[in-house]
Amino acid sequence: MLNGPKALVENKCNKCQRVVERGEFTNLPGEGKPLKLEPFNPYVSKEQVIMNKVLNSSGLIPIEILILKAIDEIKEKLKDSKLKSEQNALKVKLNELEITFDIQMEARRNFFDNS
């Protein structure tokens, strides 16, 4: 006779086997389709996860993501730019966007810290 964790695992396996034999896992909704698993991030609060789900389901994009996309676009333009004046203007815009991103992230942290 098994004791401890091995006994627990054995017991659960036996129960699962009986359920399978009774056919309780057949013809379930979504059978044969991939699971819709969401990535787990231990650094994201439950509130943030819920907020992101609401934004996703409504088709909205968080402002921080939009800012990051704009930053990436400016960086690409900066790589391709040949004119010094254009490079300077892009650097100014990049700096503004990075500051805006930092402010948004700080506001988000403060919101969740004070909730």
**Residue 40 domain flag:** no
User: Do 21 and 72 fall into the same domain?
Assistant: no
Q: Is the pTM of this model over 0.75?
A: no
Q: Return the DSSP state at 46.
A: H
Tens digits of residue pLDDT in 24-57: 888 888 888 887 777 777 787 888 888 878 888 8
Q: Return the DSSP state at 26.
A: S
**Containing structural domain, residue 12:** 1-28
User: Do 7 and 60 fall into the same domain?
Assistant: no
User: Do 63 and 110 fall into the same domain?
Assistant: yes
**Residue 94 domain flag:** yes
User: Do 7 and 55 fall into the same domain?
Assistant: no
User: Do 50 and 96 fall into the same domain?
Assistant: yes
Per-residue pLDDT, 92: 97
**Residue 37 domain flag:** no
Q: Which two tokens stand for residue 9?
A: 């695992």
Mean pLDDT of the chain: 87
User: Do 23 and 63 fall into the same domain?
Assistant: no
Q: Which two tokens stand for residue 94?
A: 């990049």
Q: Which two tokens stand for residue 98?
A: 């990075």
Question: Helix H segments across 22-83?
Answer: 46-58, 63-80
User: Do 51 and 10 fall into the same domain?
Assistant: no
Give the phi and the psi of residue 71 in degrees, each rounded to 5: -60, -45
CA dist., res. 110 & res. 27, Å (int): 47
